[in-house]
Structure 1
Amino acid sequence: MRRHGTSRTTLTWTALAAAAALTLGACGDGGTEEPQGPEGSTAAPRVQLPKLPGEKLEVAAVWTGPEQENFIKVLKEFEKRTGASVTFVPAQDPIVTFLGTKIAGGAPPDVALLPQVGALAAAVENKWAQPLGPEAAAQLDANYSDGWKKLGTVGDTRYGVYYKAANKSLIWYNAKAFEAAGVKPPKTWKELITAADTLSASGTPAVSVAGADGWTLTDWFENIYLSQAGPEKYDQLAKHRIKWTDDSVKQALTTLGELFGRKDFLAGGPSGALSTEFPKSVTQTFTGGDRPAAAMVFEGDFVAVNIAQTQAKVGEDALVFPFPAVGAKAPVVSGGDVAVALKPSKGAQALLTFLASADAAEIHARQGGFLSPNKAVDPAVYPNDIQRNIAKALIAAGDDFRFDMSDQAPAAFGGTPGAGEWKALQDFLANPSDVAGTQAKLEADAAKAYGN
């Protein structure tokens, strides 16, 4: 039985990978006119909220930069409709530790957005989380598939609203760099390595790797492992029913080493990759014309919000292709954040009701770099065809998905900076030849975290 409360999920290969393969590579902006909606529009709201004059709320999330700024626009609309005042509280990973400190100090936020699978379960176990009220539950029933509703449920009680999702099996590329090197988007891992060799030989390192953020490295591993080992093995490793010393892990790390082991493939080499945080990994790929720091960057649809900080235009300068097939089928890993009330207040429940509505999601979707699992969201609000088609594919996947592996793990193994899987894969990036040593470290840390 899979744990409930995960934030990153692995969706069906066919629904998303096929849609992505057909629509992502050469999409432009499309010129679709955005429908009128919240934030300055005259359209009637679709969700009714209570008046909360004078009420003060705090919302905590690990979001920074443009992601945080765009979410604050959603909170401003909530303030406008209710009369409440909402403050965004920047959180740090692991968020359970951050929230524990806040709660111990008697100052928990009213609502938190949790990015790891264990975080919701921990919040419920610690008696921090409040069950969803009837208004939020009604929005959930109206707008979400059963699978997404179950993800926010612990036992038989609903606690969370999956406000944000992500397709994390995408490789974004600098169109000018690809054109200058005469490279086409690869469909298989072998083709990816060949393309990387051609790109690097042309003078542009192939890949910008955000090695300073260990979570990106878990995503690299998971995409390779899912495609190469298959879903049954993936599920077993996610539950630690097979060990990290298994031959399937050896094979996946060896495959990943084909990329990480080539210093000329990585922007700045291994040391440069290990000092590169996620936002920079994106921006350095889309600055410098046809001679950027790297030609490609791997990560989810949310990369678009960081591309927006450059002069590059999604759909023209910045294009995307699905993560290449390593085995028989291409992988698709998806994720998101679940909103949970930590105070039994009317304001906290009202905010969850709003976050479960299409009104809130459409405000955020218009900004780009955001993907909603809310099936009532009009796809036309997404700012370009690339993001629009990613969103359509997510909704088309329905309930057929799996949990992201690192987010199924206890936070000490799968969600803590400088520890567990994050640290082991950073060490692997520094020395990709040490497959056996990496496996031994992963297994030791996993056994300790899982208690077996």
Structure 2
Amino acid sequence: MRGKQVAFGLVTAFLVVAGCAGPQPAPARPGPLAGQTIEVLAVWSDEEQAAFERVLDVFEQRTGATVTYVSGGDEVPTVLATRLAGGSPPDVAGVAQPALVRTLARAGSLVPLDPSTESVIDAQFAPVWKELGTVDGELYGFVFKAANKSTVWYDAGQLGPGFVPPRTWDEFVETLRKLSDTGRTPLSVGGADGWTLTDWFENVYLQTAGGAMYDRLARHEISWTDPSVRTALQTLGRVFRPEYLPGGISSALQTEFTESVVDVFGADPKASIVFEADFVAGAIAESTPARVGADARVFPFPRIGPTSSVVSGGDTLVALTDEPGTKALMQFLASSEAASIWAAQGGFVSPNRQVALDEYPDDSTRQIAEELVGADNLRFDMSDLMPSALGATRGDGFWRAMQDYLADPAQVDRILAELEAEATAAYEEGDS
């Protein structure tokens, strides 16, 4: 055990010294973790996987450790459950749902972060981010790759040089109305993916009801039939109008997220505005000829309340083993330097407030990152805070309720009553 403590102390000192000078070349001799292997399981694939592996390369060069990355895609929770059941968990995992982090921690599957890593998080992250990784007073993880889900994207070419992005909800509604009055269908909505609709609701609810009510609804301390929910839906209904959507409501319910982006930035656009998180940039790059920051521009989700509010999502890194290599990697990944390596490559936003804005490759991403880190009122994606049966199931729960509301707002009483019944059952099962 003493040998392991010494090795971890050596790599900690090495990372601190080397971190001051930026990425270093591979050491001339094996590092303090030579011969150790570390496995990381997370959602990232394709370009994201390649970017994350560049981060891991720097860690390997400095320490002599070998890090293997496994992409679980959307099946990370299932893969992780299988690995845990088989007694062979990865050393580190990226988990998108704080609710799952809580479940794993309370089941004894996670290893609390060591004091050195916690000190990095205390110094470089706002307290709200630490709270997200804390379960029953113990810190188990941190958000490495975040999403700013309070962004609205528009095609600058379609709207012209005189377009002024709306700052308030009333201005946003008026913008949509004016575009519609000129014969254009302004707003693309990917309603086939229910999570895009829950993101709409969460932004509106945070601003109309406030942070405290948002927290209570996420924990099911108030009912889904509460008047505050109806108020948010009615506010949202001001933009979910058939004349504002290409093909009307029925078409929006059949449009998936990527298609909604293509409908704005593709070669044959059907609308000029689309709402979703900063990962819209990835869909633009992969599926359209538009250039982020030039053709594709962004403005903050229009204000309804008095302060700036941001709904965030992201992937929380947690440790499942207490090996020296695991501890050293977690400490490195918590650092602003590790985040900056990916930030420079694009397609990434960090909640680490010590990542310099000029590390990001374009003005739009810099703006998105600045709004995320500087938000007065930040909350995590509500659906990811809920039991997965309620908040993350295609065609059911929260996702289905929002699709039903888009389809027929007049049925709001039935929709909310059914959602409340599902929420009651989900929380009684203890899946939170």
Q: Shorter-normalised TM-score: what interval? A: 0.7 to 0.9
Choose the corresponding residue for 1:315, options 268, 293, 303.
293
1:446 equivalent to 2:427? Answer no
1:72 equivalent to 2:49? Answer no
Deviation of 1:223 after TM superposition, in Å, equals 1.1
**Alignment-mate amino acid for residue 87 of structure 1:** Y
Choose the corresponding residue for 2:255, options 263, 271, 276.
276
1:419 equivalent to 2:396? Answer yes
DSSP 3-state at the match of 1:243: coil
Report if the CA contact (8 A) 1:170-1:299 is conserved. yes
**Residue aligning to 2:185:** 205
**Residue aligning to 2:362:** 384
Report if the CA contact (8 A) 2:37-2:65 is conserved. no
Deviation of 1:207 after TM superposition, in Å, equals 2.1
**Following superposition of structure 1 onto structure 2, how do residues 111-130 of structure 1 map, counting pairs within 5 Å?**
111-130=92-111
Q: Which has the higher contact order (CA 8 A, sep 6+)?
A: 1
**Is the radius of gyration larger for structure 1 or structure 2?**
2
Change in 2 beyond 3 A, CA 1:331/1:305: same
Choose the corresponding residue for 1:300, options 255, 277, 280.
277
What are the ranges of 5 or more consecutive residues in structure 2 without an aligned counterpart?
A: 1-17
DSSP 3-state at the match of 1:127: coil
**Residue aligning to 1:171:** 152
DSSP 3-state at the match of 1:332: strand
**Alignment-mate amino acid for residue 255 of structure 2:** T
Report if the CA contact (8 A) 1:223-1:332 is conserved. yes
Deviation of 1:69 after TM superposition, in Å, equals 3.8
Choose the corresponding residue for 1:85, options 51, 67, 79.
67
CA distance in 1 between partners of 2:137 and 2:150 (Å): 32
CA distance in 2 between partners of 1:239 and 1:368 (Å): 34
CA distance in 2 between partners of 1:98 and 1:430 (Å): 35
CA distance in 1 between partners of 2:139 and 2:382 (Å): 23
**Residue aligning to 2:228:** 248
1:406 equivalent to 2:383? Answer yes
**Residue aligning to 2:9:** none
Change in 2 beyond 3 A, CA 1:358/1:126: same
DSSP 3-state at the match of 1:219: helix
CA distance in 2 between partners of 1:210 and 1:63 (Å): 22
Deviation of 1:409 after TM superposition, in Å, equals 2.0
Change in 2 beyond 3 A, CA 1:340/1:173: same
- State how many pairs are aligned: 406
Change in 2 beyond 3 A, CA 1:444/1:261: farther
**Residue aligning to 1:34:** none
CA distance in 1 between partners of 2:336 and 2:61 (Å): 17
CA distance in 2 between partners of 1:55 and 1:359 (Å): 22
CA distance in 2 between partners of 1:74 and 1:44 (Å): 10
**Alignment-mate amino acid for residue 72 of structure 2:** P
DSSP 3-state at the match of 1:383: coil
Change in 2 beyond 3 A, CA 1:101/1:429: farther
Q: Deviations over 1:156-183 (max 9, x none)?
A: 3221122122321110101112129x75
**Residue aligning to 1:140:** 121
Q: Deviations over 1:182-204 (max 9, x none)?
A: 75422333332332234345555
Question: With structure 2 as the length reference, what TM-score do the two structures score?
Answer: 0.83
Report if the CA contact (8 A) 1:178-1:199 is conserved. no
CA distance in 1 between partners of 2:67 and 2:271 (Å): 43
Provide the identity percentage: 47
**Following superposition of structure 1 onto structure 2, how do residues 184-199 of structure 1 map, counting pairs within 5 Å?**
184-199=164-179
**Residue aligning to 1:17:** none
Q: Point out the structure with the larger helix share.
A: 2
Choose the corresponding residue for 1:217, options 194, 197, 200.
197
**Alignment-mate amino acid for residue 189 of structure 1:** W
CA distance in 2 between partners of 1:80 and 1:213 (Å): 41
Q: Deviations over 1:40-86 (max 9, x none)?
A: xx84559x996444544332223445434432332333344334031
Report if the CA contact (8 A) 1:165-1:336 is conserved. yes
**Residue aligning to 1:366:** 344
Report if the CA contact (8 A) 2:339-2:350 is conserved. yes
**Residue aligning to 2:316:** 338
Deviation of 1:232 after TM superposition, in Å, equals 3.8
Report if the CA contact (8 A) 1:254-1:435 is conserved. no
Change in 2 beyond 3 A, CA 1:352/1:432: same
**Residue aligning to 2:86:** 105
Change in 2 beyond 3 A, CA 1:328/1:437: farther
Deviation of 1:240 after TM superposition, in Å, equals 2.0
Choose the corresponding residue for 2:325, options 347, 371, 380.
347
What are the ranges of 5 or more consecutive residues in structure 1 without an aligned counterpart?
A: 1-37
Choose the corresponding residue for 2:409, options 432, 444, 449.
432
Change in 2 beyond 3 A, CA 1:325/1:401: closer
Question: With structure 1 as the length reference, what TM-score do the two structures score?
Answer: 0.80
